[in-house]
């Protein structure tokens, strides 16, 4: 999912893990229901991913329609 913030400034963090082995959705894994309150540590622990190897942080802003040029 790409960033689609509602009006205002929102923070995004992308974290990269190196997988120890292949896994697929058929192995009892499920996708998170939403991004809100997502727990990266719990996600990594459930999938035995270890520590992150890279991360990117950025802000995204969407102005209200009446303020757009």
Stated pTM of the model: 0.62
Residues 6+ apart with CB under 8 A from 54: 15, 16
Query: What pLDDT was estimated at residue 33?
Result: 76
pLDDT in tens, 38-54: 888 988 898 889 999 99
What is the distance in angstroms between the CA of the first residue and the CA of the last residue of the chain? 27
Compute the distance between CA of residue 62 and CA of residue 47 in angstroms, rounded to an integer: 34
Query: What pLDDT was estimated at residue 27?
Result: 57
pLDDT in tens, 51-67: 999 999 988 887 777 76
- Using DSSP's 3-state secondary structure scheme, residue 6 falls into coil
- Using DSSP's 3-state secondary structure scheme, residue 57 falls into strand
User: By the 8 A CB rule, do 56 and 11 touch?
Assistant: no
């Amino acid at each position: 999912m790409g960033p689609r913030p509602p009006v205002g400034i929102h923070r995004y963090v992308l974290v990269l893990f190196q997988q120890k082995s292949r896994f697929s959705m058929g192995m009892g894994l499920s996708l998170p229901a939403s991004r809100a309150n997502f727990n990266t540590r719990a996600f990594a622990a459930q999938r035995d991913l270890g520590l992150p190897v890279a991360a990117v942080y950025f802000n995204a802003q969407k102005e209200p329609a009446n303020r757009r040029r």
